[in-house]
Amino acid sequence: MHAEERHQAILRRVREEGSMRVTDFAAELGVSPVTVRKDVEVLAERGLVARVHGGAMLPEDWAETAPEGAAARTKPSPPTVRTLGMIVPSSAYYYPEVIKGAREAAEARGVRLALAVSGYDSEVEKSQAARLIEDGAAGLLLAPSDTDGGQGRQWYEDLDVPVVLIERRPAQDAAATEHVGTDHAYGARLAVQHFLDGGCQRIALFMRGGTPTSPWLKEGYFAGMHAAGLDGPDDTTYIDLSTGGPGDPGYERPMEEFLEGVRSGRIDAALVHPENDALVVLQRLRAASLSVPGDVALVSYDDEVAELADLPLSAVAPSKHEVGFSAVELMVQRLAEPGRPRRRIAILPELRVRSSSNAS
């Protein structure tokens, strides 16, 4: 049982019975009294219980039964402004709006937001989390870099404070970690349906398969194609740019395969992710005298700069601001009611149709 589960168990016992003895409860949980005593201290600092000799009580009960003046001396006052830690892989592409939404929600709730940027380094994230908690963060909003779906418990599940994942899902469905994120599978299906409504049938998914978003885009794309009764994607219509960049053979080969697919008529539409690659695709198509949307319709994913392309790109736009705002709201509610049912919030993106695709 990790720390937050113990915290919830302590709060349930105190609420059910009015009090809790450290030694008795430690024996029930099979942990040391020192561990439970530290848990009680954490909950008392949050104002959720009052520490008493050998155990804990509800703060309101302690205030009623303690000798005059004792409650004021014993019960710690919860901090006027709580601090939430937020760790994101980048403060540039994609995340500025997420951070802005989180900051606005924190300000509305009278909460301080402490931001750390990991640079997509999981070891940096671990040290940042430890430092934020040591500095008093009551909870962490986290977008972990390690998205390989590893086995077993993840490092953030054993932290001593609640965690809400941002734009990530727990590596295992059985994990109890809460998360707030965009329903990217829905976004991919939006794009597929838009292409179908515009008369396209030979729809490609052109992306980097190693990004955190890629599994959900593939899921939505495959589901949308299957629902339309189209042939399953093949090497022509599912194109992975891997990790290379312009000039790299691992990048240029699939790019040329895509262009050839458009020339031959095997591809008449493409959902492209991430957006910087969508801009390159547009440039390469025009350099090859292939027209957009005449020869191939394009939809970008993320809508960071799609509208600024020389031919404005249609794009699936995640509500990044809402993701950040909702993550703070969920964390604040978790801290106020540790025993409440856990939630996973999926926020639907929208499709913004511009010049690169036919309007449905």
Asked whether residue 74 carries a pLDDT value surpassing 90, the answer given is: no
Each residue's pLDDT tens digit, 134-176 = 988 999 999 998 755 555 678 888 888 999 999 998 766 656 7
CB of 217 closer than 8 Å to CB of 191:
no
pLDDT on residue 126: 94
> Which one is the CATH code of 3-74: 3.30.70.141, 1.10.10.10, 1.10.150.80, 3.40.50.620?
1.10.10.10
3-74 and 184-318: identical CATH topology: no
Each residue's pLDDT tens digit, 27-71 = 988 888 888 888 888 878 777 778 887 888 877 665 555 555 544
Give the full edge-to-edge strand order of the sheet including 112-117.
112-117, 83-88, 137-142, 163-166, 178-182, 344-347
Least confident segment among 73-87, 181-195, 310-324: 73-87
Asked whether residue 78 carries a pLDDT value surpassing 60, the answer given is: no
pLDDT on residue 75: 43
pLDDT on residue 174: 54
Token digits for 249?
């053979």
Q: What is the CATH number of domain 184-318?
A: 3.40.50.2300
Domain residue limits, the chain = 3-74, 83-182+321-348, 184-318
CB of 275 closer than 8 Å to CB of 301:
yes
Asked whether residue 87 carries a pLDDT value surpassing 70, the answer given is: yes
Place of tokens 């430092």: 131
Token digits for 24?
């008795």
pLDDT on residue 330: 95
Query: In what helix (H) or strand (E) does residue 62 lie, and over which residues does it extend?
Result: helix 59-65
CATH fold for the domain made of 83-182+321-348: Rossmann fold (3.40.50)
pLDDT on residue 80: 43
The residues near 287 (Cβ < 8 Å, ≥ 6 apart) are none
The mean predicted confidence, pLDDT, of the chain is 87
pLDDT on residue 324: 96
pLDDT on residue 211: 85
pLDDT on residue 223: 94
> pTM for this one?
0.75
Token digits for 59?
């703060």
Neighbours of 61 (CB within 10 A): 15
Q: Name the band, by pLDDT with cuts 50, 70 and 90, for residue 349.
A: very high
pLDDT on residue 244: 75
Least confident segment among 134-138, 228-232, 233-237: 233-237
Least confident segment among 12-16, 79-83, 108-112, 138-142: 79-83
